[in-house]
Structure formats: C-alpha cells, structure tokens
Structure 1
Amino acid sequence: MEKVTLKRSLGLWAIVGLGLGYMTPTVVFDTFGIVSEETNGVVPMAYLAALIVMLFTAISYGKMVQVYPSAGSAYTYTRETMNPYLGFLVGWTALLDYLLLPMVNALIIRLYMESFFPNVPPWIWVVTYVAVVTLFNVWSMGKTSSANAVLVVFSLFLIVAFLVLAFMKLSQGMGQGTLFTSEPFFHSNVHLSAILAGATVVCFSFIGFDAITMYAEEAVNQKTLPRAIILTVFIGGAIFFVASYFAQALFPDLSNFKVTDNTLPEIGLYVGGTLFKVFLVAGGFAATAASGLASHASVTRLLYVMGRNGVLPRKVFGYVHPKFRTPTFNAILVGLVSLLAITPSLELIASFINFGALIAFTFVNLSVLAHFVFRQKQYKTGKQLFSYVFMPLLGAGSTGILWVNLSSDALIGGLVWTAIGLIYMVFQTKFFKISIKDFNLEEADQSTSI
C-alpha cells in the first residue's frame, strides 16, 4: 500500500504569504499603546531591536532547513543535531506557542466581534470562527494558502492607507508636525533597558517566520525555504518599523487614547475618522483571520512530525487523510484547543507564547553550532567561523537577552509546561531505559516527498 504524504503545493510567495499572515501585520496598531508606554515613546526602536535579533535567528533557520528539509522546525533540528531527549523538550516547549497562538487569534476575533455586537454571546463568535479555520485546514493546504493570501493583501492595503493618511496629518501639523523627526528613535527619557523590555513584547509580532519551516514537506521546491524565511522577516520587520514610526510621530504620548491596551480602533479614528476606523478594524480582523489560518496549519505540522516520529501516539498525530492529504486529526485537535478562547486573558496567553518561541529560537541557533562546528568541523576558515560560530552565537545570545526579560508569569507558566513534558518523556522512556528514537518506524521517520 502506497504511503500517504503531505502534498507539495506551496510556491515561494505562498510560503512568504503564510509567514506574513502568521505575523499579523496590523498587530503593530493593537499593541502600540502598550509598547509606547513600555519604551517611553520609542516604539520603532523596540521593533528595530527585535528585528535584529530575529534576523540572526532567521539566518540560522535558513541554514538548518537546508540540512533537514522536513517539517518539525526547532524540534527536528535539536533532535537530530544534539540529543533526541532534548529535541523532544524543545519541541514540547515550542508547542506552547504553536498551540496557543491559534487560540489568541480566536480570542482577538471574539473581542472585535464583541465590540460591534455586545449583546451576542461571545462563544458564538469563537465556535463559528474556529469551525471555519479548522475546516480550511482539514480540506486543503492549497485552499488555506489562497484564503490566507486574500486576507493578507487586504490587511496590507489598509496599512498603506494608514501611511498615506498619516503623511497628510503630519503635514497638517498633527503630532510632531513633521514627516522627518528623530523623536520616535531617541529623546532624553530613552533607556536601553526600556527598549529591550519593549523588544520582548514586540518579538511576539515576529512569530511566524519560523513557522515557515513547518511547510518544508509541502514546498514545491525546498530550496526556496531559506529565501522565504529571510523575505518574511525583512518584509514583516519593515512593515512594523515604518508603521510604528508614523504612529509614534502622530502620537508622541498616549494622552489622546482612552484605551491603551488596544489602540487600533482609536488610531483609525484619529487618523481618518469613523469610516477609516471601521476599515482599519476590518483590516485587523482580516490580518487576525490570516494569522489564524497560518498558525493553525503550522501547529498541525509540528504535531504530525512528533506523531510520525512516535514521541506522540502515531495513529492519531501521525495520520494523514488519504484524500485531503492533510493531518486531519491534528487540525481538529487544534480547533478544540482554540475553543478555550471563550474566556482567557489575552495578555497572559501572549506571554506564554513568547516563552515557547524564544526557547525554540535559541536552540535553532545552537543547532547550527552543533551541526556545522561539532559534527562537520566547519570552523577552519574565517568565513566558516563567521557563518557557523559568530552568527549563531549572536543569535542565541540576543534571544537569550529577550528571554530573561520575560514576565514572571511567562517564566513560571513556561517552566510548568516544560516540567509536564519532562514527566511525559520520563514515563514514555521508562526512566530513559528506552531511547526516544526507538519509537520510530524506519520508514515513518524519513522525510518523504511526492
């Protein structure tokens, strides 16, 4: 019987679109108030710091996806280059951010709909949204990508409209009253610690470029993945940086805002009036829905690889539907988890997500060292030292700086989740008497293509 595998249907720009959709470009407006308060009014600097950190890590992802062109991302890289037990723990920790992000998107959609229809029970919006996203992910990766592309293009159009209106408002004297000002980057009350604290918050916005590696077995040409990763980081970073500059120039302080935890609606109102406010909220809705589609798809692929490798029950997590050629059971499971968005706090969930993401980023950088330096011995020339030692160490170190600046709730919750994974691993391996790799069927652990 021929083995059923994931379908190769994604080109370069489809993958970049999924990455950008995952990143939710309009989130720069949602979190502007929080980050402006955290950084004392230099939001663009927080995004610039986060972009530099993410760029080092993106380069490491690009290297590793060429060595291991299979779904699984940080889990696969750590498992294969360092240790299968450590790989499982990294994968388990990464699950925290992959599993929770679809739920965050469902929660944001719920909040948007509640603002328009306060008398409708919140659970109706969550159930409807989750059902649609799950259906797309079960049906076809191609259909998911197409729907994501439409939503991303619409949200990017609204961001461009904001930039045009912001230019006009600055020209008319609003905010700083000039298009070119250094105030959004530096002034007397700016401190490096505040910028790093803000970068820790906005690194949540960059989560998405790493998820691209989850589509390695569905890319038409695997060689496009490193390019797609770098493009996603640069394009997403440019959007965040430029949009936050204009927003900070228009609003040097938060005195005009009634609600600072979610400033997108008021930014739309002050920049373009009630009509543009409606459109900008619609853009935020579209971007969140796109992120929901992409994040849902990504976590199902991670669960699929962990199931295929046998560290999670293979019959459920390693299953691919023979007709749709998608990890059907995983898509349904993620949908069920997303239903928890009916009640929780957005801020708390977001902090947990950053814990899992930063752990994954750190170990991807370390995987470059483990593979190229310790295994391949590629450290004998200046170019090799720069590419395989200096760059990944910078990536791991800078990511580590953000990690230690996480909130105490994120650290405690993340460590508890990691402890649960450790207990599960000890149970599965009978106190490490059985190697995790012994769970694999030889043919199930190979990367296959169509």
Structure 2
Amino acid sequence: MENVTLKRSLGLWAIVGLGLGYMTPTIAFDTFGIVSKGTNGVVPLAYITALVVMLFTAISYGKMVQVFPSAGSAYTYTKETMNPYLGFLVGWAALLDYILLPMVNALIIRIYMVSMFPSIPAWVWVLIWVAICTGLNVWSMGKTSSLNSILVVFSLILIVVFVVLAFFKFSQGMGQGTILTTEPLFHANVHLSAVLTGATVVCFSFIGFDAVTMYAEEAVHPKIMPKAIMLTVFIGGAIFFVTGYFAQALFPDVSNFKNTDDTLPEIALYVGGSLFKIFLVAGAFAATAASGLASHASVARLLYVMGRNGVLPKKLFGYVHPKFRTPAFNVVLVGAISMLAISPSLELVSSVINFGALVAFTFVNLSVIAHFVIKQQKYKTARDIFSYLIMPLIGAALTGILWSNLHADALIGGVVWSLIGILYLLYQTKIRKNNIAVLDFEEAG
C-alpha cells in the first residue's frame, strides 16, 4: 500500500496567516482590563517584555525547524536531540496548550453567540462551530488556510479602524489627550514584578508563532519555515503592542469599565459608539474563528507525528486520509474534545494553557544547545558560542522568569497533566514493553 503523506500546499504568507490567526489579534482588547489592572497601567510594556522573550525562543525554533523539518515541533526537537522519553513528556505537556486552545475558541464563540441569542441553548452553538471547524480541517488544509486568511484580514482592518478612531478621541481630550506620551510604557507606580506577571498573561497571545512549525511538512518548501516563524512573531508582537499602546493611552486606568475581565465591547463603545461596537465584536468573532481553525489544525498534526512515531497508537493517530491527505482521525478527535466547551468557564480552561507553552519554549531553547553544542560540537568560535549557546541560554532563562510568575492554577493543572503523561509512559514501557527509545523518526515526503 502506498504511503500517504501530508500535502505540501502552504506558502510563506499562508503559514504566517495561520500563525496570526492562531494568535487571535483582537485578544489584546479582551485581556486589556486584566493586564492593565495587574500592571498598573502599562499594558504595552508587558507586551514588549513578552515579545523579547518570544524573539529569543523564536530564533531557536528557526534553527531547529531547519534541522528537523517535521510537524512535531518541540516534541520532535527534544526527542531527537536529548532523549525520546523526555521528548514524549515535552510533547505531552505541549499537548495541554494545543489541545485546550481549540476548546477555548469554541467556548469564546459560545459566549459571543449566547450573548446575541440568549434563547438558544449554548450547546447548539458549540456543536455547530465544532462541526464546521472539524469538517474544514478534514477536507483540506488549503481551504482552512484560505478561510483563515479572510478572517485574519477582517480583524486586522478593524484594528486599523480602532487606531484611526483613537486619534479623533485624543483630539477631543480623551485619556492622555495625545499619542505622544510615555505613560503607557512607564510611570512612577510601575513595578517590575507586576510587569513580569502581566507578561506571563500576555505570552498566551504569542502561542501561534510556535504553532506554525506544525505546518513544516505542508510548506511548499521547508526553507521558508524560519522566515515564517520570525514574521509571525514580529507582526503579531507589533499588532499587540500598537493595540495595547493606543488602548492604554485612551484608558489610563480601568475605572471606566464595568467588566474588566473582557473589555473589548466597552472599548469599542467608548471609542466608536454602538456601530463600531457591533463591528469590533464581529471582528473578534472572526479572529476567534480563525484561531479555532488554526489551533485545531495544529494539534491534529502534533498528534499525527506522535502517532506516526508509535508513541501514540499508530493505526489511529498516524492515519492520513487517502483522499484529503489530512490527519482525519486526529481532527475528529480534537473536535470531540472541543465539544467539552459546552460547560466549563473561560477562566478555568485558559489558566493552564501557558504551562504547556512554557514547557515547549524552554526545551526548544535547550534543544539548540543539545544538538549544536553537545552533538555537533559547535563551540570553537565566538560566533558559534554566541549563536548556539548564549542565545538559547538567554531564551531559556527568560522563559524561566515567566515560569516563576505562572498562576497557581496553571501550575497545579500542568503538574496533574504531566503526572498523567508519566503514568502513560510507564504503561507503554513497563507493561506493554514498548521501548519508545528505539522508535525511529520518520521523515515525511
């Protein structure tokens, strides 16, 4: 039987679009109240801090995706450079953020739709969205990418409109009364610990940059992947910074907001009136839908690589549909998990997502050192030492700082999930005698 592989159909900007869609550009409006309150009014500074951390880690991703052009991301890098068992545990931890994000998006869409149509049961909207998202991802990665691009562009246009409206509000004396102010970046009551806590919250927004590595086997050429990673980080970071800066200059504190847990509707109302509120909520819906499509596709591919390697049951998780050439079983499984969005709260689900992301970021940086310095012994020149040792060490250290500021719920949920992974690993190796350490990495065509 002919070996069926994933279809190479994604160009540079299609992959960047999927990354930006994953990042949900309008999320900066939703979390503005939470971050502004936590940082004492320096939201853009929190984004800059998170961006710096992400840039070092993005450089490490760019190095590793050239060596291992696989859809497995941090799982594959750790497995191939350090230890297969450790790779499994890193992949398992990363699964936590990948597998929960589609459910978070389904949950947000449920909240939007119930607010507009309160008489219709919440489960109806979850069912409709999950069915659409699952169907598109099974059918074609190209179709998913095209729809994602449309939704991302729509949300970006609305952010531009917000910036234009903000200029008019500044001219009327709203907020700081001018865009030429340093108050959103620094003032007397700013504390480093609060900024780091805020950066930990907003780093959730950057998750999409590492998710694009999941499309390495569907890129028209593997060489475009490092550029796609860096473009996703820079463009996404610029969007978040500009949005946060203008919002903070307009609203120096959160005293005007009735609901600081989700400030998007009120920001739109105060800046552009009821009509703009309708459009921005629609844009947020579009951005969430784009993130839902992209995140659904990403986790299905992580499961596919783990299944193809035999870490998860290969017959199911390593299956590629012969006609659509997509990991159909995994796509349907993620859809089934997303149906759990019918009942939980957004805060409960989203609080543990950063745990998996920070595990992945840490080990991607360490993988650079393990591969280039330890295995290939590239430490004989100052350039090699800087590129393959100092840079990833800085990335790992900065990620560690964010680790220290994780919410307690995130740590508890992450530890419980990791323990489940350890038990599964013990079951595979001790009871089933499945030696993960000798499973071969298979290059996809």
Aligning the two structures, in what range does the TM-score lie when normalised by the shorter sequence? over 0.9
Aligned position for 2:271: 271
Output the CA distance in 2 between the equivalents of 1:159 and 1:89.
39
Partner SS state of residue 217, structure 2:
coil
Aligned position for 1:303: 303
Structure 1 counterpart of 2:135, one-letter code: L
Output the CA distance in 1 between the equivalents of 2:287 and 2:195.
26
Output the CA distance in 1 between the equivalents of 2:398 and 2:211.
20
> What are the superposed Cα offsets for residues 151-180 of structure 1, whole Å, 9 maximum, x if unpaired?
000000000000100111112110000121
> What are the superposed Cα offsets for residues 24-50 of structure 1, whole Å, 9 maximum, x if unpaired?
000000000000000000000000000
User: Is the aligned partner of 1:320 residue 2:320?
Assistant: yes
Is the Cα contact below 8 Å between 1:166 and 1:250 reproduced in 2? yes
How far has the Cα of 1:435 moved from its partner?
A: 2.5
Output the CA distance in 1 between the equivalents of 2:232 and 2:361.
16
RMSD: 1.0
Is the Cα contact below 8 Å between 1:171 and 1:179 reproduced in 2? no
Taking structure 2 as the reference length, the TM-score comes to: 0.99
Structure 2 counterpart of 1:221, one-letter code: H
Aligned position for 1:447: 443
Output the CA distance in 1 between the equivalents of 2:434 and 2:331.
30
Is the Cα contact below 8 Å between 1:154 and 1:283 reproduced in 2? yes
Is the Cα contact below 8 Å between 1:351 and 1:406 reproduced in 2? no
Partner SS state of residue 352, structure 2:
helix
Structure 1 counterpart of 2:40, one-letter code: N
Aligned position for 2:384: 384
User: Segments of 4+ in structure 1 off by > 3 A?
Assistant: 431-434
How far has the Cα of 1:432 moved from its partner?
A: 9.9
What residue ranges of structure 1 are gaps of 5+ in the alignment?
none
Structure 1 counterpart of 2:241, one-letter code: F
Aligned position for 1:197: 197
How far has the Cα of 1:433 moved from its partner?
A: 6.0
Structure 2 counterpart of 1:63, one-letter code: K
Aligned position for 1:39: 39
Larger deviation: 112-121 or 89-98? 112-121
Structure 2 counterpart of 1:361, one-letter code: F
Output the CA distance in 2 between the equivalents of 1:333 and 1:62.
29
Output the CA distance in 1 between the equivalents of 2:196 and 2:264.
23
Aligned position for 1:248: 248
Aligned position for 1:412: 412
User: Is the aligned partner of 1:70 residue 2:75?
Assistant: no
Is the Cα contact below 8 Å between 2:268 and 2:280 reproduced in 1? yes
Output the CA distance in 2 between the equivalents of 1:448 and 1:310.
15
Give the number of equivalent residue pairs: 445
Aligned position for 1:91: 91
How far has the Cα of 1:437 moved from its partner?
A: 3.6
Is the Cα contact below 8 Å between 2:428 and 2:435 reproduced in 1? no
Partner SS state of residue 430, structure 1:
helix
Output the CA distance in 1 between the equivalents of 2:348 and 2:287.
21
Output the CA distance in 1 between the equivalents of 2:198 and 2:325.
41
Output the CA distance in 2 between the equivalents of 1:103 and 1:5.
27
What residue ranges of structure 2 are gaps of 5+ in the alignment?
none
Output the CA distance in 2 between the equivalents of 1:229 and 1:198.
24
How far has the Cα of 1:237 moved from its partner?
A: 0.1
Is the Cα contact below 8 Å between 1:75 and 1:90 reproduced in 2? yes
Aligned position for 1:167: 167
How far has the Cα of 1:64 moved from its partner?
A: 0.1
How far has the Cα of 1:213 moved from its partner?
A: 0.6
Is the Cα contact below 8 Å between 1:321 and 1:327 reproduced in 2? yes
Partner SS state of residue 187, structure 2:
coil
% identical aligned pairs: 75
